[in-house]
Amino acid sequence: MKTQYNSTKQRTFDLGFQSIVSALILLLIFSCDSFTDVDMPKSELTGSAVYQDAATAKAALADIYARLREGGVASGTLVGGTSMMANYSDDMDFYGTNTVFEQFGKHTILPSNSTLLTLWSVPYSEIYAINAVIEGIEASTAITGEDRNRLLGELIFLRAFNYFYLVNIFGDIPYVTSTDYQINAVIPKTPAVQVWQNIISDLRAAEELLPETYPTEERIRANKSTAQAMLARACLYTGNYQQAEAYASIVINNHVYVVEANPSTVFLAGNQSTIWSFHPGIAGHNTNDAVTYNFTSGPPSKPALSSSLYNSFEAGDLRKSQWIKTVVNGPNIWYRPYKYKETTSTQPSQEYTIILRLEEQYLIRAEARAISGDISGAMQDLNVTRNRAGLANTSAASTADLRTAILQERRLEFFTEQSHRWFDLKRTGNAANTLSMIKPGWQDTDILFPIPESELLLNDNLLPQNPGY
């Protein structure tokens, strides 16, 4: 009996035991199959899915526009290209304790300067994104027709736009056209002349691809005129005055664009002279520029407008009173840019950062005409902005005088906008004589910025460093 009982017990036990062991063995064998599969992260899309749909491709494009607004060469943020180049030129004097900005303001830039690196890396990061989206759209069968042309046109335009700034700031630069890191990590410099050719051919391609119209009612994305306006500028910079005049004329003759009657409305959202501006992103936001240049007490803790600029306005120039604000502390007085006025949110947004405006096209044409001998045409174009500022017609009547007058007019019209002043001084050969007296660290090699040191350490092919650093 006892034995019988025990056997039963053992059988039960054996069964339980066997099943546990078998289960474990099964687990050991089968555990390693699909358990480690994970779903896609919910906040991400696969690269291929992005190009299944024009809407997601547009989101990728929106990101590129927004990044251009928030950082890099044309951004109005404190560390953006616009304020750094103004600081580097005679638009502004350095104040404050920020040693990174001080190096720009006093022409003592070191290759290790952190803002210098962002002026280099942000555009290249945008160029990567642009190239990636171009490759995606070109490979996509889902994005076709008008959508495809417009998107590609905008992307190619934005690529040229970034390179325009890079070549002006750094000279010979790597010209990246693919997303292949194996190529891009060891890419050598392309001579500036070649970069300029690429910029112009990209802009021409964009001009072809882009339609006349903006995608929405606002002028916040590139269209055909945007490409043409940029072509006019690039042709002027590269000495192709005939083409510069031709492109500027196309834009000027486009009835969509009208010079605002009074300087006070030039920087308001929805004005008629804007060719391209940045949408501020969040509804009710205004410009980064207004915040960047704002200070209310003196001495300022950041760069302020130079008194030389303030004093160079002719008597009665409306721009002096409408676009500049004075800050007084006792006997001392300081000036700050007041083109963009809204430092906080408004409903709706009052001001957008303007990248391209019609006034520049008149002054491009004036300069091209002056150089090619069309004196009266040049005077006429120059008087557009003079008259609007409440000034009489120009008295300059020779090519040389007109060139001087146009350079001066550009200074007064475009101060603290889009690096205009620094690039104008540089391209007209006036940098040394203008800045050597003002900037303590001026050297003739300051015409080019240093290539960021960390880049030279990572890619030998970028050597040698630009002269003087």
Partner 1 sequence: MKNLSFNKGRPHCLCIFIFAVLLSNQINASELKFGSCLEQMQQQITGTVTDASGPLPGVTVIVKATNVSTVTDEKGNFSIAANSDDILVFSFLSYASQEIIVGSETSIKVLLSEDSTTLKEVTINAGYYSVKDKDRTGSIARITSKDIEKQPVTNPLASMQGRMSGVNISQSAGTPGSGFSIQIRGINSLRGDGNDPLYIVNGVPYASQSLGNSDVSAGQFGGLSNPISNINPADIESIEVLKDADATAIYGSRGANGVVLITTKKGKSGRTKFDVQTYTTIGKITKKMDLLNTQQYLAIRSEAFANDGISDYPDDAYDINGTWDQSRYTDWQKELIGGTANIYNTQFSVSGGSAGTQFLLSGTYRKETTVFPGDAHFYRGAVSANITHRSEDDKFSLTFTANYTGDKNTLPGTDLTRLAYTLAPNAPALYDPSGNLNWENGSFENPLSYLNGTYINSANTLLANALLSYKLPAGFEVRTSLGFSDAQLSEERSLPNTMYNPFYGLTSDASEMVVNDGKRRSWIVEPQLNWQKKWQNFQINVLAGTTFQMQKQKAFALDAYGFASNALMNSVAAATTITVLNDSQSEYKYNAVFGRINLSLKDRYILNITGRRDGSSRFGPGNRFANFGALGAAWIFSNESLLSKDNSILSFGKLRASYGITGNDQIGDYQYLDTYQVTPNLYDGVVGIQPTRLFNPDFGWETNKKLEAAIELGFLKDQIFITAAYFQNRSSNQLVGIPLPATTGFPSLQSNLDATVQNTGLELDLRSVNLKSENFTWTTSLNFTLPKNKLLAFPDLDASTYKNKFIIGQSIYIRKLYHYTGLDPATGLYTVEDVNSDGKITAAGDLKSFIDFSPKYYGGITNQLSYKNLTLDFLFQFVKQKGAGTASLFPVAGSFSNQPVQAMNHFPQDGTNAANQLYTTGVNADALSANDNYTLSDAMIQDASFIRLKSLSLSYTIPLLWSKNVSTKIYVQGQNLLTFTKYKGADPENQSANYIPPLKQFTLGVQLTF
Q: Write out the binding residues for partner 1, residues 155-184 only, by CB under 8 A.
A: 174, 176, 179, 181, 184
Instruction: Tell me the site size for partner 1, rule CB under 8 A.
Output: 109
Angle, helix 145-170 to helix 192-209, in steps of 10 degrees: 160
Locate tokens 């992307």: which residue? 155
313-342: contacts with partner 1 (CB under 8 A):
329, 332
Q: Which of 417, 425, 416 lies closest to 447, judged by CA? A: 425
| Residue closer to partner 1, measured from CB, 17 or 201 | 17
| Residue closer to partner 1, measured from CB, 30 or 387 | 30
396-435: contacts with partner 1 (CB under 8 A):
none
Query: Which of the 8 DSSP states describes residue 351?
Result: B
**d(C-alpha 244, C-alpha 254), whole Å:** 16
Count of other CB atoms within 10 angstroms of residue 54? 20
**d(C-alpha 231, C-alpha 197), whole Å:** 11
Angle value at C-alpha 324, between 271 and 406, nearest 5 degrees: 75
Angle, helix 399-414 to helix 420-427, in steps of 10 degrees: 160
CB of 231 to partner 1, least distance (A): 24
Residue span 344-383 as binding mask against partner 1, x where in contact by CB under 8 A, dash where not: xx--------------------------------------
Does residue number 463 form part of the binding site for partner 1 (CB under 8 A)? yes
| Residue closer to partner 1, measured from CB, 187 or 356 | 187
| Residue closer to partner 1, measured from CB, 12 or 262 | 12
34-53: contacts with partner 1 (CB under 8 A):
35-48, 50
| Residue closer to partner 1, measured from CB, 263 or 300 | 300
**d(C-alpha 65, C-alpha 151), whole Å:** 12
Locate tokens 């009489």: which residue? 392
**Alpha-carbon separation of residue 21 from 6, 12, 18, 47, 256 (angstroms):** 22, 14, 5, 46, 82
Helix (H, G, I), strand (E, B) or coil at 92: strand
CB of 287 to partner 1, least distance (A): 14
| Residue closer to partner 1, measured from CB, 201 or 445 | 445
Angle, helix 241-253 to helix 358-372, in steps of 10 degrees: 140
Does residue number 185 form part of the binding site for partner 1 (CB under 8 A)? yes
| Residue closer to partner 1, measured from CB, 381 or 455 | 455
Residue span 212-251 as binding mask against partner 1, x where in contact by CB under 8 A, dash where not: ----x-x-xx------------------------------
The span of 60-68, 314-322, 389-397, 410-418 binding partner 1 (CB under 8 A) equals 60-68
Cis upstream peptide for 464 (omega within 30°): yes
| Residue closer to partner 1, measured from CB, 247 or 352 | 352
| Residue closer to partner 1, measured from CB, 219 or 411 | 219
Does residue number 141 form part of the binding site for partner 1 (CB under 8 A)? no
199-218: contacts with partner 1 (CB under 8 A):
216, 218
| Residue closer to partner 1, measured from CB, 34 or 376 | 34
Does residue number 459 form part of the binding site for partner 1 (CB under 8 A)? yes
Q: Of 62, 142, 193, 437, which one interacts with partner 1 (CB under 8 A)?
A: 62
CB of 317 to partner 1, least distance (A): 26
Query: Which of the 8 DSSP states describes residue 348?
Result: S
Count of other CB atoms within 10 angstroms of residue 276? 22
CB of 309 to partner 1, least distance (A): 17
Extract the tokens encoding 254: 């486009």
The span of 252-260, 356-364, 410-418, 440-448 binding partner 1 (CB under 8 A) equals 440-448
Q: Of 52, 53, 78, 110, which one interacts with partner 1 (CB under 8 A)?
A: 110
**Alpha-carbon separation of residue 75 from 79, 404, 411 (angstroms):** 8, 28, 19
66-95: contacts with partner 1 (CB under 8 A):
66-67, 69-70, 95
Locate tokens 């500022």: which residue? 389
Q: Of 114, 144, 194, 297, which one interacts with partner 1 (CB under 8 A)?
A: 297
1-30: contacts with partner 1 (CB under 8 A):
3, 6-7, 9-10, 13, 17, 20-21, 24, 27-28
Helix (H, G, I), strand (E, B) or coil at 3: helix
Q: Of 52, 53, 78, 96, which one interacts with partner 1 (CB under 8 A)?
A: 96
| Residue closer to partner 1, measured from CB, 295 or 310 | 295
Helix (H, G, I), strand (E, B) or coil at 354: strand
End-to-end CA distance of the chain: 102
Task: Extract long-range pairs of 174-177: CB within 8 Å, 24+ residues apart.
Answer: 174/462, 176/124, 176/127, 176/128, 176/131, 177/131
Q: Which of 95, 164, 196 lies closest to 423, judged by CA? A: 164
